[in-house]
Copies of this chain bind each other. A is one copy, B any other.
Amino acid sequence: MRNIRKGTGESRRGKETLLLILDSAKTILIEQGYSKLSMRKVAVGAQISVGNLQYYYPSKNDLLKDMLDHSIDEFMDEFERLRLGANNDPELHLKSIINFIVLDLGNPTTTTFYPELWALANHDEYADKLMDEIYARVRVPLEDSIMRLNPRLDFEQVQKVALFISSSMEGMTMFVGHGKVWNDSIQHMANIATMSFLQLVKNITPDDIQENSFELANHNG
């Protein structure tokens, strides 16, 4: 709630409407996509008038910002809980993170919200900055596990392996997410991911990363 009009949403009643608004906006984004998200629809969804909506969020952009913040906080809260209950064994910790993230893709909200965010980030500076922040935070526990499992890597290399693992999991969203063709296989995908990432982390050497590109695209056959 950082983008509301100053001195607003401070009473109990005000806070309730604020949540109704954010919930309505999120629901519309998820069910209909950003192109169908309008102030009027949000107002209807929150069962308030357009004027009242504008009292809280003078512009659509202000609403969008807060909605993104709010939606992402919900995920980060859950993720933080997972971090706190971290296992001392880095391998088990890594496994639990992988399982958590991949299975979370099956959540209907996650399945549709994040692709919207990625598309938005290509044209909206705020969404772009927000994305960087979330995924940087998601990578932290990954980096920690990788570092401990493979001391040969320097931090820059650890970062890149963590980035690979994290982005790799995100990519499954469009295929194993809720309602997607391969949704039934989501647990199998989590298994493959676990096995694959663990082997990667244990066996990768600095040379594997730095290795020069071999020219294949041009002279193959």
A185 surroundings in chain B (CB, below 8 A): 160, 163
A31 surroundings in chain B (CB, below 8 A): 123
Q: Give which listed residue, B35, B99, B211, B221, contacts A213 with CB less than 8 A.
A: B99
B195 in contact with A95 (CB, 8 Å): no
Asked if A189 lies at the interface with its beta carbon under 8 angstroms from chain B, I say yes
A174 in contact with B164 (CB, 8 Å): no
A: contact size bracket: 35 or more
A123 in contact with B33 (CB, 8 Å): yes
Which chain B residue lies CB-closest to A187? B213
Interface residues of A in 188-221 (CB under 8 A from B): 188-193, 195-197, 199-200, 203-204, 208-211, 213-214, 216-217, 220-221
A196 in contact with B164 (CB, 8 Å): yes
User: How many protomers of this protein does the assembly include?
Assistant: 2
A174 in contact with B170 (CB, 8 Å): yes
B189 in contact with A163 (CB, 8 Å): yes
A196 in contact with B191 (CB, 8 Å): no
A191 in contact with B169 (CB, 8 Å): no
B82 in contact with A217 (CB, 8 Å): yes
Which chain B residue lies CB-closest to A81? B217
In the bound assembly, the distance between CA atoms of A65 and B174 in angstroms comes to 19
Q: Which of A2-10, A14-22, A109-117 faces chain B?
A: A109-117
Asked if A50 lies at the interface with its beta carbon under 8 angstroms from chain B, I say no
Those 5 A-B pairs whose CB atoms lie nearest each other, nearest first: A171-B171, A168-B168, A35-B35, A96-B216, A119-B119
